[in-house]
Chain A
Amino acid sequence: MARTPTTTDAFSAVAEASRRDLLDAIGTGEVTVGELVDRVGLSQPQVSKHLGVLRAVGLVLVRVDGRHHWYRVNGPELQPIHDWVRHFERTWNTRLDRLDDLLAELQAPEERP
């Protein structure tokens, strides 16, 4: 079966803006498809399609309660993405801390002539 590049893992799943909007809309709560349709302004089929992708990669979990399906974010699966953002921030910090040190050095009075 052909691999679909947008659905193979959590990283590629969130490359799609609508899915990031959905994750934001679900937030830290538990919501139904109907509530998500209201919150993100997509049609029900679109929301269902994106939720299907997010479920397939494990970023979203579902709980069935009678006639309702309740969706929530699966935090641990988001962790690798979160860690990568942190890594990116660390890389920038390393570079800018060196600039910080240089600026301090350039402004420091000559200590040992």
Chain B
Amino acid sequence: MTSIGNRHGSAVITLPSDTDYLVTRAFDAPAKLVFDALTTPELVQRWWGFETSEWLVCEIDLRVGGQWRYVIRERDMEVGFHGEYRELNGPHRMVWTEMYEGVPDPGPENYPVCTATLDEVDGVTTMTLHVRHTSKEERDAVLATGMESGMQVSYDRLEDLVQQAA
């Protein structure tokens, strides 16, 4: 029997350093299938973005040094990301760069670097996605939005503080 949605809302964000964040999520699927869903255009278009997104570009050149680019239209706004595959050890590990196209391009050497590891145990695959911002300038640009700084406070500690002191 396939139960849909029993793991919904279970992604966990942690903050290993000032420039990094980690997303952890388990899936009831073999690592091979999760890897395919991350790297096959037909499958990416079925989950990345939003339910209402219209896909304009979904290009994946799946080899080390190969480029990828996603562009969706969401409420009349085009949202694009692109980058390069750095390491492909399917189905257990891949490394790529990922740059949002809505801000000035800092040059490929300064793109955030994403590392996904897929660990399969008894048919359950735990994905750990590690996102590392690569330069102070790039990080500060994000900090300047006044948004990501919040993310850098240790989430668990913060929750304790808020609940205790509120």
Q: Which B residues between 127 and 149 are near A, CB-CB below 8 angstroms? A: 143-144, 146-147, 149
CB contact under 8 A between A20 and B154, given known A75-B161, A103-B28, A107-B2: yes
CB contact under 8 A between A98 and B47, given known A28-B160, A93-B8, A103-B37: yes
- A26 to B, closest residue via Cβ: B161
Q: For the side of the interface on B, what is the size category?
A: 35 or more
Q: With an 8 A cutoff between CB atoms, is B50 at the interface? A: yes
Q: What 1/0 flags go to B40-53 for Cβ under 8 Å of A?
A: 00010011111100
A63: min CB distance to chain B, Å? 14
Chain B residues, Cβ within 8 Å of A73: 161, 165
CB contact under 8 A between A79 and B166, given known A85-B13, A99-B27, A104-B4: yes
Q: What 1/0 flags go to A28-62 for Cβ under 8 Å of B?
A: 10000000000000000000000000000000000
Count chain A residues whose beta carbon lies closer than 8 angstroms to a beta carbon of B. 43
9 cross-chain pairs, A with B, having the tightest CB-CB distances, nearest first? A75-B165, A84-B150, A15-B149, A81-B150, A103-B29, A98-B47, A99-B47, A28-B164, A75-B166
Q: List 15 A-B contacts (CB under 8 A).
A: A11-B146, A14-B150, A14-B153, A17-B18, A20-B153, A23-B161, A78-B161, A79-B166, A85-B13, A89-B13, A95-B49, A99-B34, A103-B29, A103-B34, A104-B29
Which residues of A are in contact with B by a Cβ distance under 8 Å? 5, 9, 11-12, 14-15, 17, 20, 23-24, 27-28, 72-76, 78-82, 84-85, 88-89, 92-108
